[in-house]
Amino acid sequence: MKALAGTDESLEVICKKEDIIKAVLDSLRETSVEKKLKGFERIAALYLESEPFSVENGLLTPTFKF
């Protein structure tokens, strides 16, 4: 997989870094508070996937549903 601009690390490596996951989760939590989501609507954990969704790899159905 290609390296991202400004870094020599691949997207796969970046998606596994704990500090990146924490930063994304913190941003989502901040947004959920701003939008006044209820506790059960808020994200508790997060997994970042480096592979794009597609029908070919089975991450997307032919009708483009997850």
Tens of pLDDT, residue by residue, the chain (66 residues)? 455 566 778 889 999 999 999 999 999 999 999 999 999 999 999 999 898 889 998 888 999 887
| The model's pTM | 0.73
Which tokens belong to 49?
A: 């996937």
pLDDT at 5: 63
How far is it, in rounded angstroms, from Cα 45 to Cα 61? Answer: 24
Which tokens belong to 56?
A: 């070919």
* CA 54 vs CA 16, 26, 59, 60, 62: distances in Å: 21, 27, 6, 5, 9
Which tokens belong to 4?
A: 């991202």
pLDDT at 48: 93
